[in-house]
Structure 1
Amino acid sequence: MTAVHIAATGTALPGDPVDNAALGAMLGVSEEWIDLFVGTRTRHFGWDPVTGEVRGSLADLCAEAAARAVRASGLDPADIEFLVLATATPDTLLPTTATEVADRLGLDHLPVYQIQAGCSGAIQALDLGRTLIQGGRRAGLVIGGDVTHRFLSPRRDTAKLPTEELVNYVLFGDGAGAAVLTDEPEGERIAVRAVLNSWTGRGRPPGQLLDWYGTTDRDSGRRMLAEDYKAIEEHVPTISVEILWELLGGLGWSLDEVGFLLPPQLSERMTARIVERLPDGPAHEVSCVADTGNTGNALPFLQLDRLLPKFAAGERAVALCVESSRWIRAGFALEKV
Structure 2
Amino acid sequence: MPKAQIVGTGGYQPGEPIDNAMIESIVGPLPEDVLAGVSIQQRYWMIDPATGEHLDSNSGMAVKAARSALESAGLEAAQVELIIVATGTPDYPLPPVANLVQEALGLEECATMELRSAGSGPVQALDIARTWIEQGRITTALVIGSEAISPALAPVFLKTEPAKIRMRDRVPLYMFGDGAGAIVVRAGEGEGLRQGTTRAIGGSRKAGIHAIGGGTHAPILTQQRSKRMVDLRVDVVGAGDFTPVMVTKALADSLAAADLAAEDADWCLIPEGNVGWMLDSLNEAGLLTPEWLALQGRIFDDLAQTGACGCAAVPLFLDHAWRTGMVKPGQKVLLIGVEATKWIYAGIACDWTAEAPA
TM-score, structure 2 as length reference: 0.86
Residue in structure 2 matched with residue 280 of structure 1 by the alignment: 294
CA displacement at 1:197 relative to structure 2: 1.2
* Count of paired positions: 334
User: Which deviates more, 312-321 or 105-114?
Assistant: 312-321
Separation in 2, partners of 1:267, 1:49: 29
The equivalent residue for 1:150 is 151
Evaluate the alpha carbon distance shift between residue 130 and residue 253 of structure 1 in structure 2; reply closer, same or farther with a 3 A threshold: closer
Q: CA deviation at 1:72?
A: 0.9
TM-score, length-normalised on structure 1?
0.91
CA deviations 1:62-120 (Å, max 9, x no partner) are 00000011111112222111111110000111222211111111112111212223211
Alpha carbons of 1:267 and 1:35: their partners in 2 closer, same or farther (altered >3 Å)?
farther
Paired position in structure 1 for 2:225: 219
**Shift in Å, 1:164:** 3.9
Matches within 5 A, 1:76-87: 76-87=76-87
Instruction: Give yes or no for contact 1:4–1:183 (8 Å, CA) kept in 2.
Output: yes
CA distance in 1: counterparts of 2:278 and 2:143, whole angstroms: 25
Rate the CA distance shift 1:60–1:190 in 2: closer, same or farther, 3 A.
farther
Match of 1:141 in 2: 142
Q: After TM superposition, give the deviation of residue 31 of structure 1 in Å.
A: 8.5
Change (3 A) 1:212 1:35: same
Deviation per residue, 1:202-249 (Å, 9 max, x gap): 221111101123632222247712111111111111221222122222
Distance 1:258 1:266 in 2: 15
Provide the rounded CA distance (Å) in 1 between the counterparts of 2:297 and 2:188: 27
Match of 1:324 in 2: 340
Unaligned segments of structure 1, at least 5 residues: none
CA distance in 1, matches of 2:127, 2:251: 17
The alpha carbon displacement at 1:283 in A equals 5.1
Cα distance in 2 for residues equivalent to 1:266 and 1:260: 12
Aligned to 1:98: 98
Whether the aligned pair in 2 keeps the contact of 1:118 and 1:297 (CA below 8 Å) is yes
Q: Classify 1:291/1:271 alpha carbon distance in 2 versus 1 (closer, same or farther; 3 Å).
A: farther
2:182 is matched with 178
Is 1:56 aligned to residue 56 of structure 2? yes
1:270 shift after superposition: 4.2
Alignment check: 8 A CA contact 1:4 1:184 kept: yes
Task: Evaluate the alpha carbon distance shift between residue 209 and residue 229 of structure 1 in structure 2; reply closer, same or farther with a 3 A threshold.
Answer: same
Residues 62 and 314 (structure 1), Cα distance of their counterparts in 2 relative to 1, 3 Å cut: same
Q: Deviations over 1:172-191 (max 9, x none)?
A: 00000001111115xxx971
1:168 equivalenced with 2:169 (yes/no): no
**Percent identity at matched positions?**
28
Query: Taking structure 1 as reference, are residues 273 and 264 closer, same or farther at Cα in structure 2, changes over 3 Å only?
Result: farther
Aligned counterpart in structure 1 of residue 331 of structure 2, from 309, 312, 315: 315
| Structure 2 letter corresponding to 1:204 | R
How has the CA–CA distance of structure 1 residues 82 and 250 changed in structure 2, closer, same or farther, with 3 Å as cutoff?
Answer: closer
Residues 1-337 of structure 1 aligned to structure 2 (within 5 Å): 2-29=2-29, 32=32, 35-135=35-135, 136-153=137-154, 154-155=157-158, 157=160, 159-184=163-188, 191-213=192-214, 215-216=220-221, 217-221=223-227, 224-265=231-272, 268-270=275-277, 272-273=279-280, 277=288, 278-281=292-295, 284-308=298-322, 309-337=325-353
Partners of 1:237 and 1:273 within 8 A in 2: no
Say if 1:132 and 1:92 are closer, same or farther in 2 by CA, change over 3 A. Answer: same
Letter in 2 for 1:239: M
Residue 33 (structure 1) shift: 6.5
Deviates more, 1:304-313 or 1:256-265: 304-313
1:275 and 1:313 map into 2 onto residues whose CA distance is 32
Name the SS of the counterpart of 1:151 in structure 2: helix
Q: CA deviation at 1:316?
A: 0.8
Give the Å deviation of 1:168. Answer: 1.1
> 60-69 or 202-211, which moves further after superposition?
202-211
Q: Contact between 2:240 and 2:278, CA under 8 Å: does it hold in 1? A: no
CA contact (8 A) 2:254 2:346 kept: no
